[in-house]
Structure 1
Amino acid sequence: MRRLLDAIYGSAAALAALCMVGLLVMVLLSIAGRQLHFNVPGTDAYAGYLMAGAGFLALAHTLKRGEHIRVTLILSRLPAGGRRWLERWATGAAMLLALLFAWFSVRLVFQSLEYHDISTGNDATPLWIPQLAMAVGTVVLAIATVDEFVLEWRGRAEARPSEAARHE
């Protein structure tokens, strides 16, 4: 199961990296168009879609690597029991928020499909397409927070790389 979850997180991160490459291509195409006096419609919109996709798809991988912002100043001052309960509370709250975020993101994609929403730009992109990256990213984040919550309650929380490096 661990390998499958890590593969899901890694795949989402790889998709985020592809979005970043696509974003670079859109920006370079826009710059080249201005310099060489041609216009490619929709490059700004697609750059924005790709940027959002990269951010959302990278959330779970970032969480599992321990790179999300944490208030270690408070945690480091608590006794072991207090730290464990605060970690459990914070992980539970993050899990609930991630599940809600995933639910509403997926719902938004279905609503955009149902109502045939399109972008207001001249590219007229069906909005469910860029929203799909957000929905996938939030679903993978929800899976990762459930994973973290279960690990925390089992007492087997993985050492976060940033914390492990601090203790060496």
Structure 2
Amino acid sequence: MRKLLDGIYNSAAALAALFMVGLLAMVLLSVVSRQLNFHVPGTDAYAGYLMAASGFLALAHTLKRGEHIRVTLVINALQGPWKKAMELWALGVATLLALLFAAYSCKLAWQSRAFNDISTGSDATPLWLPQLAMAFGAVILVIAFIDELVLEIQGRRVAPLSGEALRNE
């Protein structure tokens, strides 16, 4: 099960990286087209779609690597069962919020598909396509939070420390 979950997180991160490369390509195409006096319609919109897809698909991988911003002032002051209770509470609330976000993201993509909602730009992209990446990333984030919550309940959760947090400037 651990290999499957890590595979899901890593696959989503790889897809996010691929979308990030696509974002770079859109930005470069936009810059080059301006310099060479030709216009490629929709580059700004597609850059936005790719940026959103990249961000949402990377959320779970980032969570599992301990790279999300987390305020630990209270938790670090607690000891023993109080600390574990606070971790469980925080992970429970985060799981609930992620679940609500995923449900509404999926509902938004579904409704956009049902209503044939398209972007208002010249590209007229069906909006459910870019919204699908957001919903997919949100669902994987829920899975990652449930994973963290179960690991914390079992006492097997190792909260990874971000390398950035260890630096003192």
Q: Shorter-chain TM-score: what band?
A: over 0.9
How far is 1:161 from its partner? 3.8
Distance in 2 (alpha carbons) for counterparts of 1:29 and 1:80? 55
Write out the 4+ residue segments of structure 1 that deviate beyond 6 Å after TM superposition: none
Distance in 2 (alpha carbons) for counterparts of 1:117 and 1:58? 26
Instruction: Return the TM-score normalized by structure 1.
Output: 0.95
The reply to whether residue 24 of structure 1 matches residue 27 of structure 2 is no
Q: How does 1:34-113 map to 2 (within 5 A)?
A: 34-113=34-113
Instruction: Return the TM-score normalized by structure 2.
Output: 0.94
How far is 1:80 from its partner? 2.1
Q: Percent identity?
A: 67
Determine the structure 2 residue equivalent to 1:133: 133
Determine the structure 1 residue equivalent to 2:153: 153
Give secondary structure in 1 for the equivalent of 2:104. Answer: helix
How far is 1:22 from its partner? 0.3
Distance in 2 (alpha carbons) for counterparts of 1:153 and 1:72? 19
- The aligned amino acid for 1:35 is Q
Give secondary structure in 1 for the equivalent of 2:157. Answer: coil
Distance in 2 (alpha carbons) for counterparts of 1:99 and 1:162? 25
- The one-character-per-residue Cα deviations of 1:45-96 (angstroms, maximum 9, x if unpaired) are 0000000001100000000001111122222211122111110000000000
- The one-character-per-residue Cα deviations of 1:14-54 (angstroms, maximum 9, x if unpaired) are 01101100000000000001100000000000000000001
Give secondary structure in 2 for the equivalent of 1:26. Answer: helix
Distance in 2 (alpha carbons) for counterparts of 1:30 and 1:24? 10
Distance in 2 (alpha carbons) for counterparts of 1:87 and 1:69? 15
Q: How does 1:8-23 map to 2 (within 5 A)?
A: 8-23=8-23
Distance in 1 (alpha carbons) for counterparts of 2:114 and 2:154? 42
- The aligned amino acid for 2:29 is L
Distance in 1 (alpha carbons) for counterparts of 2:23 and 2:80? 44
How far is 1:104 from its partner? 0.7
Distance in 2 (alpha carbons) for counterparts of 1:128 and 1:18? 20
- The aligned amino acid for 1:91 is L
CA RMSD of aligned residues (A): 1.3
Aligned pair count reads 165
Give secondary structure in 2 for the equivalent of 1:118. Answer: coil
Gaps spanning 5+ residues in structure 2: where? none
Pick the structure with more helix per residue: 1
